[in-house]
Amino acid sequence: MCSAFAPFWDSSILLEVASATLSPMDIAQWWPKLESSTQKWLVDNNGDTIPPHVIVEIAAAGGPDGGLSDTDLSDGGLSDADVDWVEAVANEETPNK
């Protein structure tokens, strides 16, 4: 491939633009994309500090990643609304979100 066809934009700038324009995914959208073992951990440890490997999986599934959503996992936890959502799922209730 000729270098003349190489992109002229910087990928970090593209990521900034995307993060500024993308709306955050709701927990109901990214939850099904998690491994069942991760879902179980989140239910069993609802409201606890989330370990880094779980944060990475949540972000990869489209969930909060510290910049693209309303919840910032950098503090180690889900939002109160997301904790309530997980609790509803754990209790086999219909979540509010």
**What residues contact 72, with CB distance under 8 A and at least 6 apart?**
64, 66
Helices (H), the chain: 11-21, 27-30, 36-44, 52-60, 80-90
pLDDT on residue 27: 93
The model's pTM is 0.67
Mean pLDDT (the chain) is 76
Can you tell me the distance from the alpha carbon of 68 to that of 70, in angstroms, rounded to the nearest whole number?
Answer: 7
Q: Reduced to 3 DSSP states, what percent helix, strand and coil does the chain have, rounded to the nearest 5?
A: 55, 0, 45
